Amino acid sequence: MTIALVSGRALPLRGNELDTDRIMPARFLKAVTFEGLEQHVFEDDRKTNPSHPFSNPAYRGAAILVANENFGCGSSREHAPQGLQRWGIKAIVGESFSEIFRGNSSVLGVPCFTADKASIEQLQTLIEQKPDTVVTADVATGTITAGDLTIQGTLPAGVRDAFLTDKWNPTSMLLADFDRVRATAAKLPYVAGF
């Protein structure tokens, strides 16, 4: 499946350094599947803050998450983007992301666009004022439109092209030329025990 356009209502989530322990507390990692994780997204934050955006009925069904700096920092747990995706999130726009989180999301088919602070602020404010606004993120151009507002987002080129050409789930690509994997291994001194 190529991913060229993500469109839907959005959810503004303010705050920097929202780490993956916050997105998915460790106790919900006690499982052998990812099933049901959508119920626990930001669970502890939502308990202490009843008006948390993920508890706000106005944002129910949102497809695009709008975050601030260093979103998804900390643990490499894929349970965090799995939970967000299962909740309904199909793309994230933020000021910056932790690399592991961004990579994990990409492999799930959830593009993470970066945009500058002022643009994010405008987008979050707009959604807070008009939660019904449909936001559209264009993977090829990075353009994110919401009503009259257009902001410029960015995806790393490799990831962008992977979405556009249906190469974002890389396993079959990694297996496509397996002789070259073997050849690379054969040249590494340690693989054969020096």
Partner 1 sequence: MPTLFHKVWNAHAVRTLPSGQTQLFVGLHLIHEVTSPQAFDMLHQHGWTVAFPERTFATVDHIVPTSSQRRPFLDVMAEEMTSALERNCARHGIRLFAPGDDLSGEQGIVHVIGPEMGLTQPGMTIACGDSHTSTHGALGAIAFGIGTSQVRDVLASQSLAMDPLKVRRIDINGSLRPGVYAKDVILTIIRRLGVNGGVGYAYEYGGSTVDDMSIDERMTICNMSIEGGARVGYVNPDDSTFAFLKGRKYAPTGEAWDRAVAWWRSLASDHDAIYDDRVVIDAATIEPTVTWGINPSQSVGVSEPIATRDDEALAYMGFADGQKVAGTKIDVAFIGSCTNGRLSDLEEVAKFVKGRQVAPHVKALVVPGSQDVRRRAEAKGLDRIFAAAGFEWRGAGCSMCLAMNPDRLEGNQICASSSNRNFKGRQGSPTGRTLLMSPVMVAAAAIAGEVADVRELLEPAHA
Minimum separation from the CB atom of position 91 to partner 1 (A): 17
Q: Which of 7, 8, 21, 143 binds partner 1 (CB under 8 A)?
A: 21
For partner 1, which is the closer residue by CB, 123 or 162? Answer: 162
Q: Which two tokens stand for residue 85?
A: 């995706």
Site string for partner 1, 155-194 (x = CB under 8 A): -xxxx-xx--x-xxxxx-xxx-xx-xx--xx-xxxxx-xx
- Name 137's bridge partners: 6, 144
> How far apart are alpha carbons 116 and 95 in whole angstroms?
6
Distances (CA, A) of 108 to 68, 78, 118, 169: 21, 9, 28, 7
> How far apart are alpha carbons 95 and 83 in whole angstroms?
21
Residues 93, 97, 100, 104, Cα dihedral to 10°: -10
Among residues 69, 46, 53, the alpha carbon closest in space to that of 128 is found at 53
Regarding 9 and contact with partner 1 (CB under 8 A), the answer is no
Give how many residues touch partner 1 by CB under 8 A: 66
Q: Which two tokens stand for residue 36?
A: 């049901």
User: Contact, 110 vs 83, CB < 8 A?
Assistant: no
Q: Which of 75, 85, 119, 124 binds partner 1 (CB under 8 A)?
A: 75
3-state secondary structure of 52: coil
Q: Which of 77, 89, 123, 151 binds partner 1 (CB under 8 A)?
A: 77
For partner 1, which is the closer residue by CB, 30 or 148? Answer: 30
Minimum separation from the CB atom of position 81 to partner 1 (A): 8
Q: Where are the alpha helices (DSSP H) in the chain?
A: 20-23, 43-48, 79-87, 99-107, 117-129, 157-164, 171-176, 178-187
Q: Which of 56, 70, 136, 143 binds partner 1 (CB under 8 A)?
A: 70
User: Contact, 122 vs 149, CB < 8 A?
Assistant: yes
Q: Which of 1, 48, 50, 57 binds partner 1 (CB under 8 A)?
A: 48
Minimum separation from the CB atom of position 119 to partner 1 (A): 18
Site residues (vs partner 1, CB under 8 A)? 15, 17, 19, 21-22, 25-27, 29-34, 44-45, 47-48, 69-70, 73-79, 81-82, 96-100, 103-104, 107-108, 156-159, 161-162, 165, 167-171, 173-175, 177-178, 180-181, 184-185, 187-191, 193-194
